[in-house]
């Protein structure tokens, strides 16, 4: 057991009394005297200002959010209709080796953090540290940004996050890979190595391959960014980086606002409501396109780039809960078929909605003849939806259920770490749908980590968690969705504690061969302090 953790016996009553969702909404999103309903009305009113028929669309946007069918990214919920007004979550900034470039990027990042956004950097233009002191090197610059991010926590409702990326050819790549080896180092960064097809085709010839995979096995980082796959359909300057969670590859000064359709809300009596889904997707695309026009941008360069390309990121959440409601086990052949069909529907309706908007309002300014005639250069993505799915009461993104009862590390309004016992919404649905004894079922899972004996066998077969799946199942699911997604996908490839470095190598190679745009793995217990922890025999382990 990792140092500093303990096994906790908890009761179902503790779960019943805890209302983390309401506390998160109150502390992060609501303004003085505002209710959750008032938040949705504030956001809908602000975004609908971009429409001529603003009252009609204000009603539609309000209904989307208040029903839980769609939710925009956190900065939109926090800032729409308020003084700050920054509505985008995802940014990428350029950075070079000069003092002016480094501190200009530092200042710009602080402004983005104030509005609740996250930033990605490719640090490859910074020379490696040398004996002549002409360059301080990449890792010290990252440390500077990490310290600034810590400082900004007291000024923001949402903790800042960054992606640090480095090209595999950079002379400082090994120091970069080792930069997070010590617990707590650069904790505000996710890090990834940018690799090309030539590298992946001959990995056994590159000593760096072992270094990357061993580090990922040890600490869950770095991930890989497959730059040739990302740029295969890109006709502009090469994209070299993503936002902090990896789902949104962007050019320098690029930004994107995200929104997520809750798939679980479209399952009725085991069947998927395709018509209702299509209507929601069309309205959600219009919502996100209107965000581009009602946004307050932190930098003029970001405004110019965003308005020229009008990228949006419509994705999904609740996929795992959707499967359970349909009677399909995650990782089964049937689940892959559902994923293929759902991702295809998302692409078809989202692209059609953007094309309709292009006819009504004109295409994005950077559009050139021969490109798809759309309002938005990129339309779809799949984000992790951590807090957003909590608000919508569903499972995150396209991830499998992590655990049906678990402990989650959270940061309270005073920015102190604490833990909360969580019940997965899909578990609540199972209890209601099958008339189970809630106290008995939850207490049994919290203390033993297994389904209660009263749960029928066919229902138990649906209770698949991330740790029940082989890494190949995780990668296959990501690859299916990626075939239909314009941008990238944020997904964690979970591995058991006894996974090997060869397993990591296999997952990385399989993701590249399957045309994924990036990959992140996490081996259980790689870190002493983990964001979430499962319940097992003896109780719930504290993260």
Q: For all residues of the chain together, what is the average pLDDT?
A: 92
List the structure tokens of 337: 């078929």
pLDDT of amino acid 332? 98
For a pLDDT cut of 70, what percent of the chain falls above it?
Answer: 91
Provide mean pLDDT across the span 340-351: 98
Mean pLDDT of 480-486: 98
Burial class for 432, CB neighbours closer than 10 Å (0-12, 13-18, 19+): exposed
User: Residue 291's CB: how many other CB atoms inside 10 A?
Assistant: 25
pLDDT in tens, 153-174: 877 777 889 999 999 999 999 9
Let me know: does 459 contact 441? Beta carbons within 8 Å: no
Q: What pLDDT is attached to residue 12?
A: 46
The pTM (predicted TM-score) of the whole model is 0.93
At 101 the three-state DSSP class reads helix
Per-domain residue ranges for the chain? 26-86+253-392, 92-250, 406-463
The pLDDT, as a whole number, for residue 533 is 67
Task: Please report which confidence band the pLDDT of residue 290 belongs to, taking 50, 70 and 90 as the band edges.
Answer: very high
Is residue 3 scored above 70 in pLDDT?
no
Overall average pLDDT of the 36-61 stretch: 98
pLDDT for the residue numbered 1? 25
> For residue 508, what are the contacts with CB-CB under 8 A and spacing of at least 6?
212, 213, 216, 224, 519, 521
β-pairing, 162-167 vs 118-122, is: parallel
* Eight-state DSSP code of residue 155: G
Interval 187-229: pLDDT, tens:
999 999 999 999 999 999 999 999 999 999 999 999 999 999 9
Of 450, 440, 512, 424, which is closest to residue 212 (Cα–Cα)?
512
Q: What is the pLDDT of residue 233?
A: 86
Angle at 36 between CA 10 and CA 159, to 5 degrees: 65
- Give the pLDDT mean for 273-297: 98
- Kind of pairing between the strands at 532-536 and 405-411: antiparallel
* C-beta separation of 93 from 307 below 8 A: no
Q: Which residues are catalytic?
A: 243, 245, 247
Give the tokens for residue 178.
């080792």
Cβ pair 475, 516 in contact under 8 A = yes
pLDDT, tens digit, 9 for 90 and up, residues 308-323: 999 999 999 999 999 9
pLDDT at residue 274 tops 90: yes
429-460: pLDDT as tens digits:
999 999 999 989 988 888 888 899 999 999 99
Do 46 and 77 contact (CB within 8 A), yes or no? no
With a cut of 70, say whether residue 134 has pLDDT above it: no
Residue 17 has pLDDT above 80, yes or no: no
Residue 149 has pLDDT above 80, yes or no: yes
Kindly give, in sequence order, each residue whose CB lies less than 8 Å from that of residue 42, ignoring residues fewer than 6 positions away. Answer: 31, 34, 80, 81
Q: Considering only 83-87, 351-355, 429-433, which range has the smallest mean pLDDT?
A: 83-87
Residue 130 CB neighbours (<10 A):
12
Q: Domain 26-86+253-392 is of which CATH architecture?
A: Alpha-Beta Barrel (3.20)
Q: How confident is the model at residue 360 (pLDDT cuts 50, 70, 90)?
A: very high
What's residue 156's pLDDT? 76
At residue 7, does pLDDT exceed 70? no
Residue 540 confidence (pLDDT): 55
pLDDT of residue 241: 98
What pLDDT does 132 receive? 61
Residue bearing the bigger pLDDT, 450 or 396: 396
Over residues 35-41, mean pLDDT = 98
**182 and 146 Cβ atoms separated by less than 8 Å:** no
DSSP state of 2: -
What is the model's pLDDT at position 535?
66
């Amino acid at each position: 057991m990792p140092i500093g953790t303990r096994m906790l016996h908890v009761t179902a009553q503790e779960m019943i009394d805890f209302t983390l969702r309401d506390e998160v909404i109150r502390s992060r999103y609501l303004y003085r005297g505002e209710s959750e309903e008032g938040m949705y009305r504030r956001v809908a009113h602000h975004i609908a200002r971009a429409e001529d028929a603003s009252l009609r669309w204000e009603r539609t946007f309000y209904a989307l959010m208040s029903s839980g069918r769609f939710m925009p990214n956190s900065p939109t919920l926090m800032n729409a209709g308020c003084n700050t007004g920054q509505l985008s979550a995802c940014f990428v900034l350029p950075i070079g080796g000069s003092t002016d470039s480094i501190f200009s990027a530092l200042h710009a990042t602080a402004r983005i953090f104030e509005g609740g956004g996250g930033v990605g950097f490719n640090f490859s233009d910074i020379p490696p540290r040398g004996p002549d002191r002409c360059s301080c090197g990449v890792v010290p610059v990252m440390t500077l940004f990490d310290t600034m991010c810590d400082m900004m926590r007291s000024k923001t409702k949402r903790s800042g996050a960054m992606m640090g990326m480095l090209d595999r050819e950079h002379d400082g790549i090994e120091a970069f890979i080792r930069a997070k080896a010590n617990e707590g180092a650069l904790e505000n960064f996710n890090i990834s190595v940018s690799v090309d097809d030539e590298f992946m085709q001959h990995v056994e010839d590159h000593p760096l391959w072992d270094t990357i995979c061993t580090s990922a096995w040890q600490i869950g980082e770095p991930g890989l960014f497959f730059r040739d796959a990302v740029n295969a359909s890109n006709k502009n300057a090469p994209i070299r980086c993503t936002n902090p969670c990896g789902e949104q590859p962007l050019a320098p000064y690029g930004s994107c606002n995200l929104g997520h359709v809750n798939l679980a809300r479209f399952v009725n009596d085991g069947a998927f409501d395709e018509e209702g889904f299509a209507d929601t997707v069309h309205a959600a695309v219009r919502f996100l396109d209107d965000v581009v026009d009602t946004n307050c941008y932190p930098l003029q360069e970001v405004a110019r780039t965003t308005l020229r390309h009008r990228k949006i990121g419509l994705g999904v959440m609740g996929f795992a809960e959707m499967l359970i409601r349909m009677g399909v086990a995650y990782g089964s052949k049937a689940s892959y078929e559902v994923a293929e069909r759902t991702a295809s529907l998302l692409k078809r309706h989202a692209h059609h909605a953007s094309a309709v908007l292009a006819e009504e309002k004109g295409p994005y300014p950077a559009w050139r003849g021969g490109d798809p005639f759309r309002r938005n250069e990129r339309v779809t993505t799949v984000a992790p939806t951590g807090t957003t799915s909590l608000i919508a009461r569903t499972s995150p993104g396209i991830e499998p259920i992590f655990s049906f009862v678990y402990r989650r590390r959270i940061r309270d309004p005073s920015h102190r770490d604490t833990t909360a016992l969580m019940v997965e919404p899909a578990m609540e649905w199972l209890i209601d749908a099958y008339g189970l004894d809630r106290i008995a079922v939850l207490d049994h899972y919290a203390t033993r980590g297994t389904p209660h004996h009263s749960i029928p066998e066919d229902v138990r077969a649906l209770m698949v968690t991330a740790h029940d799946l082989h890494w190949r199942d995780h990668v296959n699911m990501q690859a299916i969705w990626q075939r239909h997604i314009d941008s990238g996908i944020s997904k964690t490839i979970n591995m058991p504690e006894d996974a090997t470095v060869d397993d990591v190598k296999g997952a990385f190679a399989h993701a590249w061969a399957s045309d994924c745009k990036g990959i992140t793995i996490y081996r259980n217990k790689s870190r002493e302090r983990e964001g979430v922890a499962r319940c097992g025999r003896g109780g719930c382990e504290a993260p």
